[in-house]
Amino acid sequence: MSGAEAPAATRYEAVIGIEIHVQLRTLSKMFCGCSADVASAPPNSLTCPVCLGLPGALPVINREAVRHVLATGLAIGSRILDITRWDRKNYFYPDLPKGYQISQYDLPLASGGSLAFDTSQGPTSVSIRRAHLEEDTARLIHQVDPDGRRVSLVDFNRSGLPLMEIVTEPDIRSAEAARRYAEELRLLLLTIGASDAALENGQMRVEANVSLRPVGQSAFGTRVEVKNMNSFRSVERAIGFEIARQARALDAGETLVQETRGWDDGRAMTYRMRIKEDSDDYRYFPEPDLPPLRTDPAWLETIRMGLPELPATRRARYQASLGLTPYDAAVIVGDQGATRLFENTLAADPSLPAKKVANWVTGEYLRLVKPGGSRGDGEGGGADGAAGAGTGGAAGGRSGSELRVQPAELAHLVRAVETRKLSGTNAKEVFRRHAETGESIARIVASTGLQQISDETALREAVRAVLEAHPAAVADVRAGKGQAVGFLTGQVMKQTRGQADPTLVQALLRDALAESQD
Ligand code: ADP
Ligand code: MG
Ligand code: ZN
């Protein structure tokens, strides 16, 4: 077989590095007192001389934004420099009123670190190069006005919002691993409260640098930067497309150019946006209006002590001390609502089997949160232990907070099933009603009569009646036709409106049939 016939994946190795920008969760902007709550504010209502870039306005550092970057750095094992610096990144564009962006160049707040996660190929980890702080740009809105002219509008509400940029080493080798990295980073940021990190509204922006090299070659090939992916699915698809496109170009003997390409989700392809600038073009230089920033070691220690249990630690604990499967642990930890419900249900009744509680959370609870998308939906699920990104981007689902599930009530429910006061099927119905209304399990069971009948005397009566009513089936059983037992059990279940304990019914049926035979 000639080399050209082997599939691209065996001839080329993909080299991928990811740059992610996230809006940090703060009350005010990065360098001024304007509110950072821009979600529903009218355009240009949250501005001041600083974030409009008016001459003479001076920046003041937002301490909370610095804290979020330090917390992120500690969570991923970065080195935190004692002294960091602000730099001006110069470029000319209508979204940048000052003509420069205050950022960090060679002395970022956090350097190095790594993030570990699972993929369908097994566990992996990505080295992180740096995490730094900068300010966001204004938002450009391109539209056609009523006269049919194409206009570009500028909304400065976003100008000056705190942004953290996290850059990986070119460590990633597949589109799937790139998606999983981004999902895991989002989960980490949500867990430590640094960002709400929703891709669909631009709070988290993922850019992927993608190049190919012939297998066995150590030098990197020419890279292309891909942007405009607004879902995790798009991240994986865009990189997959780019790998295939570059492989075809290299096969055809073409020379790739370093460029920035956009992802067009509708057409499922990337397109050229611009030939990439080099960092020289930005003429970075130290920001004269801000002194270097010294990190107080005592403050850093306080931040470290305040970190919550991180997702990787939590997954490991769920497996090691609660006996959950890697899959269940990943699904629960992948969703903050699910994690809280699981933890609080076990806290309400620590004697419950954790696996049973996990089944309710990954099954019924997540089914309600994201209909058609909890277990085994193929996107991020599967037997590999890698779970999807949680409810954040669930289209058509509801947020866990719209559901009225009380952990103590779920604990009652699991207990009721364990002690066979409720059948598995009826318990699901009871749970659904509880989740919708918040009504207690006890009241729902009382008002719907869904409790399981495990009272032998009552069931013996029902069994007797059914045997009397179906002599033909009884004869079939005697004649050795096993299915007839199933039919009779079904009849008893029907008579008791599904409330009978089916195991008990079968036992009673067997007893009754044996008795009447003598
Ligand atoms: P820039 O200054 O253009 O942002 P960097 O050197 O800082 O470029 O790298 C940006 C990202 O690109 C990093 O995540 C890095 O790992 C990745 N990267 C660098 N070289 C390559 C390459 N040849 N192929 C794929 N990714 C790369
Ligand atoms: Mg960059
Ligand atoms: Zn302002």
- CA 365 to CA 408: how far, in whole Å? 14
Helix (H, G, I), strand (E, B) or coil at 168: strand
Ligand 1 centroid, distance to 224 Cα (angstroms): 9
% of the chain exceeding 70 in pLDDT: 91
Q: Give the atom of ligand 1 at the shortest distance from the alpha carbon of 225.
A: 12
The two most distant CA atoms of the chain are separated, in Å, by 104
List the structure tokens of 7: 């599939």
> 338 CA to middle of ligand 3, Å?
37
Pocket of ligand 1 (CB under 6 A): 15-19, 167-170, 209-211, 220, 223, 279
Res 457: pLDDT: 80
Q: How far apart are CA 133 and CA 216, in angstroms?
A: 37
The runs of H, that is alpha helices, within 29-173 are: 63-75
Q: Which residues surround ligand 3, an ion (CB under 5 A)?
A: 32, 34, 48, 50-51
Atom number in ligand 1 closest to CA 167 = 14
Question: Residue 172 has what DSSP assignment?
Answer: B
Contact 410/357 with Cβ under 8 angstroms?
A: yes
Residue from 209, 213, 223, 258 to probe ligand 1 pocket by mutation (most atoms less than 8 Å from CB): 209
Neighbours of 67 (CB within 10 A): 18
CA-nearest of 69, 285, 92 to 192 is 69
Residues of the chain by 3-state class (helix, strand, coil), percent to 5: 40, 20, 40
pLDDT of residue 517: 63
Q: Is 186 helix (H, G, I), strand (E, B) or coil?
A: helix
Amino acid code (one letter) for 215:
V
> For residue 225, which ligand has an atom nearest its CA?
1
Mean pLDDT of all residues in 182-194:
98
The share of the chain scoring above pLDDT 90, in percent, equals: 75
Would you call 25 helix, strand, or coil by DSSP? coil
Contacts by 311-317, CB closer than 8 A, 24 or more apart: 311/184, 311/187, 311/188, 311/191, 312/116, 312/117, 314/339
Ligand 1, atom 11: closest residue by C-alpha: 17
For 224-270, what is each residue's pLDDT tens digit? 999 999 999 999 999 999 999 999 999 999 999 999 999 999 999 99
Which helix H or strand E contains 116, and what residues bound it? Answer: strand 114-119
Res 382: pLDDT: 34
- Burial group, residue 282, by CB count within 10 angstroms (0-12, 13-18, 19+): middle
395-404 pLDDT per residue, tens? 455 676 678 9
**Average confidence (pLDDT) over 119-127:** 95
Q: How far apart are CA 194 and CA 202, in angstroms?
A: 15
Residue 116 has pLDDT above 50, yes or no: yes
372 near 357, Cβ under 8 Å? no
How many CB atoms within 10 Å of residue 433?
18
* 85 CA to centre of ligand 3 in angstroms: 21
| pLDDT value at residue 406 | 95
> Which residues, in sequence order, are CB contacts of 89 under 8 Å at separation 6+?
100, 101, 102, 103, 105, 134, 282, 284
CB neighbours of 403 closer than 8 A, spacing ≥ 6?
Answer: 365, 368, 369, 435, 436
Q: What is the 3-state secondary structure of 69-101?
A: HHHHHHHCCCEECCEECCEEEECCCCCCCCCEE
Confidence of residue 504 (pLDDT cuts 50, 70, 90): confident
Q: Which two tokens stand for residue 309?
A: 């249990």
What average pLDDT does this structure show over 367-373? 79
d(CA 493, CA 373): 31
Task: Mark 105-142 as b/e (b = at least 16 C-beta within 10 Å).
Answer: bebbbbbbbebebbbeeeebebebbbbbbbbbbbbeee
How far apart are alpha carbons 401 and 394 in whole angstroms?
A: 14
What is the pLDDT at residue 372? 64
Answer for the pair 97, 115: CB distance below 8 angstroms, yes or no. no
Please tell me the pTM assigned to this model.
0.85
Distances, alpha carbon 403 to alpha carbons 248, 366, 406, 434, 435, in Å: 49, 11, 9, 9, 5
Each residue's pLDDT tens digit, 51-97:
999 999 999 999 999 999 999 999 999 999 999 999 999 999 999 99
The token duo for 439 is: 């009504």
Which residue has the CA at smallest separation from atom 17 of ligand 1? 17
Residue nearest to atom 2 of ligand 1 (CA): 279
